[in-house]
Amino acid sequence: MEYSTDMATEGTGSLKLSLSLSGTAWEEGGVYVDPPTAYDWSAASTVSADVYVPAEATNFLAQIFVKTGEGWTWANSADAQLTPGEWTTVTADLSTLGEIADVHEVGVKVGSGSTAFTGDVFIDNIALGSAAEQAAVEAVEVTPELLYGFESDAEGWIMADYWAGGKGIEYSTDMATEGTGSLKLSLSLSGTAWEEGGVYVDPPTAYDWSTANTVSADVYVPAEATNFLAQIFVKTGEAWTWANSADVQLTPGEWTTVTADLSALGEIADVHEVGVKVGSGSTAFTGDVFIDNLMLNVPTE
């Protein structure tokens, strides 16, 4: 990484990050800063960064990440699809990023799981946005549509065995937000590094979610599962391109509704996979978490 005057969105300078990605698996690079004194961003509503990738850098994603609070707890924005050969503004909703009155680290990461690339990307203009600076948005009424309720079986969902924290999945009647059934995901996490487990389904025919604005899932972690995060992920389009929601802090001993903004998740008219992952980087845990009520939320006409 180095300071550069090769590209900029404003002024003459930016950060240049050199990457080398194989295109055969998800790989990423990133930059960050730890300010001498923690930032208090409680008066702001968003933080954004401009990211440039060259024309050959197709299927690239970026996200903003932070570490907040006494435990320097990680949180990140949803992945943003980058436009090759152009600057893309990546925006994070601060309400989803933890203790924003105590921000110890902020950074940007950029990567791809399908494009081989060796070259430079550029990052510029990290900016805070306040609610007063945003256009007022009228609340939109939505009609929830149940996708998966897990009332009689796992409905085709399987465990993501590429995440080492997951140890098993089964249909369960131990916990539910509605009805009597849910998915039970068994986890074993060391608490010494970020570890996660997840579940997903590949529907026989790709979903067209173009009329909806969000998708949500209810996630339960027991009381001892502190500092746990969850996110919804999808794979969309012909290339099954990965995208995920921002991390959501889970409330121990309660159900938490995790909601993903579909406008940030790629080609939502062609959704080949949807899943939920759960993890922690600081809490040792061996036990079960539960997932229920995957809902599609369609604006009411």
- 224 and 126, same structural domain? no
**Distance between CA atoms of residues 77 and 182, nearest Å:** 27
On the 0-12 / 13-18 / 19+ scale of CB atoms within 10 A, 200 is: middle
Together in a domain, 290 and 147: yes
For the chain, how many structural domains are there in total? 2
Q: Evaluate if residue 40 carries a pLDDT over 90.
A: yes
Quickly count: other Cβ atoms within 10 Å of residue 284's Cβ. Answer: 12
CATH classification at residue 220: 2.60.120.260
Domain containing 50: what range?
2-133
User: 60 with 147, same domain?
Assistant: no
Same domain, 64 and 113: yes
> How many C-beta atoms lie closer than 10 Å to residue 55's C-beta?
9
**79-121 pLDDT per residue, tens:** 888 889 999 999 888 988 989 999 999 999 999 988 999 999 9
239 and 156 part of one domain:
yes
Residues 162 and 294 placed together within one structural domain of the fold? yes
Q: Are residues 64 and 161 in the same domain?
A: no
Last-in-domain residue among 108, 133, 158: 133
Same domain, 91 and 181: no
Q: Does the pTM exceed 0.75?
A: no
Q: Which of 114, 133, 152 is the last residue of a domain?
A: 133
Geometric angle at alpha carbon 67, from 4 and 100, rounded to 5° = 105
Tens digit of pLDDT for each residue in 221-251? 999 999 899 999 999 999 998 888 888 889 9
Same domain, 157 and 127: no
Residues 124 and 171 in one domain: no
